[in-house]
């Protein structure tokens, strides 16, 4: 069984296996002590489980039910109790506000055919899922919170930053890694003005 950052992880052929994009996020997490964190598109649950080391509570969501079952199994395997996983298409089954929201965005153009494709295929242009996330995320972020998005240069980093700025964030590339024919980029975004303080979802 493979180990990542001291966590044992079970893998599944229909769930995205941690790769360079996951590691870029894992090594640059903005989660602080006692934060309430949300990991969108949680996959194996690795990012959620890493955030749980510092956060008081983490919610991991994924559109793929196989991923949610696998992430729950990985939490049990590592004895991590302050994390919860549920099936959700982005924020569909999410309520409340969070200090940190992470999203490793799908970016390939096309339509998903198998569960594994949901982690990779972002719609006709490759941006549909990411753009919907940017549009909806302000409603779920606490004042002073941070959104962390991992994406490929294939999908247009400048466009993501522009869309985040239009949605009321300051955004910048916080880390970058070149892989094969693309750059994997981590974008950190913070609200320009504080959202009203809101109750924790837990």
SS3 per-residue string spanning the chain: CCEECCEECCCCCCCCCCCHHHHHHHCCCCCCCCCEEEEECCCCCHHHHHHCCCCCEEEEEECCHHHHHHHHHHHHHCCCCCEEEEECCCCCCCCCCEEEEEEECCCECECCCCHHHHHCECECCCCHHHHHHHHHHHHHEEEEEEEEEEEEHHHCHHHHHHHHHHCCEEEEEEEEEEECCEEEEEEEEEECCCCCCCCCCC
Local confidence pLDDT in tens for the 202 residues of the chain: 899 999 999 999 999 999 999 999 999 999 999 999 999 999 999 999 999 999 999 999 999 999 999 999 999 999 999 999 999 999 999 999 999 999 999 888 888 888 888 888 888 888 999 999 999 999 999 999 999 999 988 889 999 999 999 999 999 999 999 988 888 999 999 998 754 444 455 5
Q: Which domains does the chain have, with CATH numbers?
A: 17-191 (3.40.50.150)
Output the pLDDT for position 197: 46
Output the pLDDT for position 196: 44
Output the pLDDT for position 97: 97
């Amino acid at each position: 069984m493979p180990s990542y950052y001291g966590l044992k992880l079970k893998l599944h052929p229909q769930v995205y296996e941690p790769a360079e994009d996951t590691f870029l996020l894992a090594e640059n997490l903005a989660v602080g002590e006692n934060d309430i964190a949300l990991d969108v598109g949680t996959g194996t649950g690795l990012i959620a489980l890493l955030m749980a080391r510092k956060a008081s509570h983490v919610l991991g969501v994924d559109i793929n039910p196989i991923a949610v079952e696998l992430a729950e199994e990985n939490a049990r395997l590592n004895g991590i109790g302050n994390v919860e996983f549920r099936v959700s298409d982005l924020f569909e089954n999410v309520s409340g506000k969070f200090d940190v929201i992470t999203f490793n965005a799908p970016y390939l153009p096309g339509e998903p055919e198998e569960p594994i494709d949901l982690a990779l295929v972002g719609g006709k242009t490759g941006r549909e899922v990411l753009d919907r996330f940017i549009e909806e995320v302000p409603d779920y972020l606490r004042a002073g919170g941070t959104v962390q998005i991992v994406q490929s240069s294939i999908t247009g980093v400048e466009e993501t930053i522009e869309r985040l700025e239009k949605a009321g964030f300051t955004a910048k590339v916080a880390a970058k890694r070149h892989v094969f024919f693309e750059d994997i980029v981590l974008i950190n975004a913070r609200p320009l003005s504080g959202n009203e303080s809101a109750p924790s979802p837990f």
